[in-house]
Amino acid sequence: MLDDGQARTYKCKGDVASLVDFVGQQQHEGTLAIGHTRWATHGEPSDLNAHPHTSMNGKVILVHNGIIENYKELKEKLTRRGYSFKTETDTEVLANLIEYIYIRGNIPLEMAVRLALTKVVGAYALCVYTPENAETLVIARLGSPLIIGVGKGEYFVASDATPISEYTQSVIMLNDGDMAVLQREGLQLKNTLNQTLKPEVQLIDWDVENVALGSYDHYMLKEIFEQPRSIEDTLRGRIDGQKGAITLGGLYSVMPRLVNARRLIIIACGTSWHAGLVGEYLIEDLARIPVEVEYASEFRYREPIIYPDDIVLAITQSGETADTLAAIKLAKSKGALPLAICNVVGSSISRETVAGVYTHAGPEIGVASTKAFTAQVAVLALLALKLGEQRGTISPEDFRDGVDEILSVPSKIGKILEKNEEVKHIAESMYEARNSLFLGRGYFFPVALEGALKLKEISYIHAEGYPAAEMKHGPIALIDENMPVIIVAGKDKSYEKVVSNVQEVKARKGRVIAIVTEGDELIREMADYCIEIPHASFVAETLLAIVPLQLLSYHVALLLGRNVDRPRNLAKSVTVE
């Protein structure tokens, strides 16, 4: 909305950089602007279907993150009342619905939005204004995240704090059903019942340096290289090397229940699910508590058996993943104790759970999760050791060794990062492949899964992660001289077996890239390439083994000219179901 009283809309298919090119050098002065990078649900990605959407008579302009599930029915009703539609989106239906109520009722926009939302089934984070009153922005949230950044004489509205942390550290988190009206004079926050709420301003502790690219070419590379520091941040105040003690303050109130747990259910998606698998192995090994790891999306749509004495632990970087949020709500409704390991302070999942641990990895901007994964695994290792200590399932000596192992991780990762050039060279050997296989056993199986996910999401090379021993039950048929097989083969109790797997791959002319423990001459002789990692026990080995795979994916994607930080079709926070 410009100072000359005109609303101007620019839309463009593609990424934000394309929009910047499209808008070009045109400079506009104005006080209110809205924008949204759309996740295509209804209608293909196109300039027309892009946000903002304007209602038929131009009285309402809005951006919307979420899905209007009953959009067809609403569209039919509006069509009968003379409305026509330019796009295939559900959002345009919402714009027209608000406009219809706004014009017919001759009421303030806020009231029209409130009434329109009572007719909507679905999820939304919404920013709406009318060119008739360019000084007022109405926002609302249900199911999709929304926050307000409070600056000096200005407000920002966003899905999370990352994009606005450059401008302000003060934020107000909206709850489901909340609406707010932002004006020059201030803001008014209301709940579902139209009751005025006192806005609670929280400070986020992310500094500008955290969101700046600095000397790195990409956020993903920066975040991979940040890991020695981000893990130290995760561990700070939680592990005491001198006393040999672990303190998880966020779980203090629920520790007795955790220590006596009959079982623990971990729910997560994607990379966080892989961290959950590492957590399962660690907690079962060290604390002897049975753990089930579930994809949040599967858990919530089947009829899971949840007992009131169950503990359900969500693992999530963003704290906003729709499926994980819904799964935790389901677990809560069945009486289970909901906990979370989460990176974003004040996020929806952290507010939906009764206790938990923040990973403090700092904002993760690259779409492919790297430092958030290692932070999650570090927290799970602390939790497993703590529970093992409290339950008496590990000896004081093993507990002490575990503490020392974890404390040595940042410097060991530093050593792996020195091999960046070596990994880049290895990437040149595989970037032309169409398919790839990632294998690992025991603790290295989740690492193989995560390595495969990293490669496929940013390079678009098909990558499958498999338990190494399962290879002979099917995937071995794929192996020929064109197939890179990445084997995570650190020296642990299944090492000998993995050596046999390397031999099996070589016998079929597969190209082996192996992640091995320093000084491993046996696999070096057989493999085409080896990347060495420092020795570590099972408590910490996954934290080391994943790092070369993150670097490998990064370099392969770069060689293929991919948009490493913004891979196609993916979003950083998956707030759609």
The residues of the shown chain that bind ligand F6R, judged by CB under 6 A, are 269-272, 316-318, 321, 324, 368-369, 453, 457, 574
Of the two residues 269 and 547, which places its CB atom closer to ligand F6R in the complex? Answer: 269
What gap in Å lies between CA 174 and CA 213, rounded to an integer? Answer: 29
Angle at 224 between CA 375 and CA 435, to 5 degrees: 105
Residue among 150 and 204 whose Cβ is closer to ligand F6R: 204
Q: Which two tokens stand for residue 22?
A: 């499209």
Q: Give the residue at shortest CB distance from ligand F6R.
A: 270
Q: Please, what is the minimum distance in Å from the beta carbon of residue 247 to ligand F6R?
A: 24
* Cβ atoms of residues 456 and 559 within 8 Å: no
- Measured from the CB atom, is 117 or 557 closer to ligand F6R? 557
User: Closest separation between CB of residue 570 and ligand F6R, Å?
Assistant: 8
Query: Residue 153's CB: how many other CB atoms inside 10 A?
Result: 5
CB 230 within 8 A of CB 379: no
Residue linked to tokens 């930080």: 565
Closer Cβ to ligand F6R, 97 or 368, answer by number: 368
Distance, CA of 269 to chain centre: 8
In sequence order, the 6+-apart residues with CB closer than 8 A to the CB of 48 are: 11, 86, 87
Q: How far is the CB of 321 from ligand F6R (least distance, A)?
A: 3
Rounded Cα distance, 276 and 279, in Å: 5
Nearer to ligand F6R, 365 or 533 (CB): 365
147-150/133-142 β-pairing: unpaired
- For the bound state, the minimum distance from the C-beta of residue 332 to ligand F6R, rounded and expressed in Å, comes to 17
Q: Which is nearer to ligand F6R, 68 or 368 (CB)?
A: 368
Residue with Cβ nearer ligand F6R (63 or 341):
341
Of 317 and 542, CB closest to ligand F6R = 317
Distance between CA atoms of 507 and 512, rounded to whole angstroms?
11
Is residue 359 within 8 Å of 272, Cβ to Cβ?
no
Q: Which of 540, 160, 173, 142 is nearest to 317 (CA)?
A: 160
Q: Kindly state the smallest distance separating residue 324's Cβ from ligand F6R, in Å.
A: 5
CB 453 → ligand F6R: shortest distance, Å?
6
Residue closer to ligand F6R by CB (options 368, 413) is: 368
> What's the closest the beta carbon of residue 533 comes to ligand F6R, in angstroms?
21
For residues 87 and 295, give the distance between their C-alpha atoms in angstroms, rounded to a whole number: 34
Q: Which is nearer to ligand F6R, 49 or 318 (CB)?
A: 318
On whether the CB atoms of residues 28 and 2 are closer than 8 A, the answer is: yes
> Closest separation between CB of residue 423 and ligand F6R, Å?
18
The CB-of-227 to ligand F6R minimum distance in angstroms stands at 14
**Closest Cα partner for 234 from 363, 54, 342, 359?**
359
The DSSP secondary structure of 129-170, one letter per residue, reads EETTEEEEEEEEEEBS--EEEE-SS-EEEESSSGGGTTT-SE
Give the Cα separation of 556 and 515 in Å (integer).
16
Write down the least CB distance from residue 359 to ligand F6R, Å.
Answer: 10
Minimum distance between the CB of residue 289 and ligand F6R, rounded to whole angstroms? 23
Using the minimum distance from each CB to ligand F6R, give the nearer residue, 54 or 318: 318
d(CA 468, CA 450): 14
Distance CA(12)–CA(48), nearest Å, equals 8
Amino acid at 397: E
Characterize the bridge pairing of strands 122-130 and 170-173: unpaired
Residue by residue, DSSP assigns 107-120 as: --HHHHHHHHHHT-
163 φψ region: left (φ > 0), alpha (ψ -120 to 50), beta (else): alpha
| Minimum distance, C-beta of residue 446 to ligand F6R, in the bound complex (Å) | 13
52 cis-preceded (ω within 30 degrees of 0): yes
Task: Specify the amino acid at residue 280.
Answer: E
Report, in Å, the least distance between residue 305 CB and ligand F6R: 24
Q: CA 374, CA 341: separation in Å to the nearest integer?
A: 12
Cβ proximity to ligand F6R, 139 vs 455, nearer residue: 455
Nearer to ligand F6R, 269 or 556 (CB): 269
